[in-house]
Amino acid sequence: MGYITHPEAAIHMKPAPKVAQFSSRGPNSITPEILKPDITAPGVNIIAAYSEDPKPVLPYNIDSGTSMACPHVAGVVGLLKRVHPDWSPSAIKSAIMTTANIIDNSGNPMIDETKHEASPFSRGAGVIDPNRAMDPGLVYDLTVNDYLDFLCTRGYNKTIIQKFSGQPYECPKNYNILDFNYPSITVPKLNGTVTVTRRLTNVGLPGTYTVGVKSPAGISVDVKPNILAFGKNGEVQKFELTMKADGTRVGRDYVFGELTWSNGNHYHVKSPIVVSMA
């Protein structure tokens, strides 16, 4: 005898979310100064709609992995662009990353398949939170010249860069890729002291933000200025973050921390800090 029982939805599973075993891991093998992955999104056993393509003849199916995490993020990007049509792609990315959540539904830091706390190399900035991303307060924006300077650091010559710029572009003589205005801060092979620069653009109400730092193990972190006052929407403020090995760490493994700009109420603009020793 065969039996078919009525399926029951599994809800309120704990802990959730968590990083799947097959999810991509950092560090970035090509440009280690930029953290990858950026973000975590739903990707396992997702019921996905298909177009009415004859091969296969399916109105929907179940997909897993980045096959589903990518369209989730793309959909959120589309919604954010609709709400904020003046935002650049980098501003949207920043909003998604700095408002991401690293706490699961049991109130603990998100874990991976090993049942240990997930690091920025597995979860990125955290799990995407579309509602919070609509109103991030501050964003790390990028200009076209920022991207061209990045190409300069990768060794592209003037001829190739001009294909992107449309006109001759002079690479800066002293540009540091660590100053690329990304929503995360990554310093591979720290030797002594290093200072990185970031710019924040106000996309919320006027307000004053105070910095909070969770320093990576064995690394001292100093932020100047530690208070940023924004008087209007669109205002840009710059800050410097200086990192130094405090002498307590001798290994070369990566260590992780966090930088948060908060107005004490609604906005908490978070960035992962990732450092390894030389």
pLDDT digits (tens, 9 = 90+) for 134-193: 999 999 999 999 999 999 999 898 899 999 898 999 999 888 999 999 999 999 999 889
With residue 63 as reference, give the H or E element that holds it: strand 60-63
Q: Environment class of residue 175 by beta-carbon count within 10 Å: exposed (0-12), middle (13-18) or buried (19+)?
A: middle
How many C-beta atoms lie closer than 10 Å to residue 29's C-beta? 7
User: How far is CA 266 from each of CA 195, 197, 205, 209, rounded to the nearest angstrom?
Assistant: 29, 25, 10, 11
Residues 6+ apart with CB under 8 A from 259: 185, 211, 212, 213, 214, 221, 223, 241, 270, 271, 273
pLDDT of the residue at 63? 81
Residues 6+ apart with CB under 8 A from 162: 168, 169
pLDDT of the residue at 250? 61
Q: What is the pTM for the complete model shown?
A: 0.91
pLDDT of the residue at 56? 66
pLDDT of the residue at 7? 81
φ, ψ at 213 (rounded to 5°): -130, 130
**Residues comprising the chain, all counted:** 278
Given a cut of 70, the residues of the chain with pLDDT beneath it are 50-56, 249-251
What residues form DSSP beta bridges with 219?
245
Helices (H), 37-88: 66-83
Q: Environment class of residue 19 by beta-carbon count within 10 Å: exposed (0-12), middle (13-18) or buried (19+)?
A: buried
How many C-beta atoms lie closer than 10 Å to residue 245's C-beta? 19
pLDDT of the residue at 55? 67
pLDDT of the residue at 179? 96
pLDDT of the residue at 199? 98
